[in-house]
């Protein structure tokens, strides 16, 4: 019998970058992106994101990143990116 292979996670980078979480109703909430990987990120926020909700994450003025809330606990939440970034309309 073979041992199961461990699931390899994408490399995470500590960022502590300010951003904005835009929920499915368009409500914008300030967040801090505490770590980031190619597949998602961890945010710190005073709002409680809804698990399963599709959101957009804006960091800087360049682009919005579509994502889905995968988990939320206390003042932290995990987002999984769901597609390429969309340019921000200014």
- The pTM score is 0.81
Centroid of chain to Cα 27: 15
Instruction: Give pLDDT, residue 89.
Output: 59
Instruction: Give pLDDT, residue 2.
Output: 61
Instruction: Give pLDDT, residue 53.
Output: 97
CATH H-level, domain 17-87: superfamily: predicted glycosyltransferase like domains (2.40.10.220)
Sequence spans of domains, the chain: 17-87
Q: Tens digits of per-residue pLDDT, 32-82?
A: 999 988 899 999 999 889 999 999 999 887 778 999 999 999 999 999 999
56: closest CA among 7, 9, 20? 20
Is there a contact between 81 and 43 (Cβ–Cβ < 8 Å)? Answer: no
């Amino acid at each position: 019998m073979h041992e199961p292979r461990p699931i390899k996670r994408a490399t995470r980078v500590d960022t502590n970058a300010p951003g904005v979480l835009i929920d499915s109703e368009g409500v914008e909430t300030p967040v801090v992106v505490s770590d980031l990987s190619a597949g998602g990120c961890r945010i710190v926020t005073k709002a409680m994101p809804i698990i399963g909700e599709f959101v957009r994450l804006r960091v800087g003025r360049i682009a919005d990143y579509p994502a889905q809330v995968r988990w939320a606990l206390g003042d932290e939440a995990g987002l999984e990116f769901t597609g390429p970034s969309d340019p921000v309309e200014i």
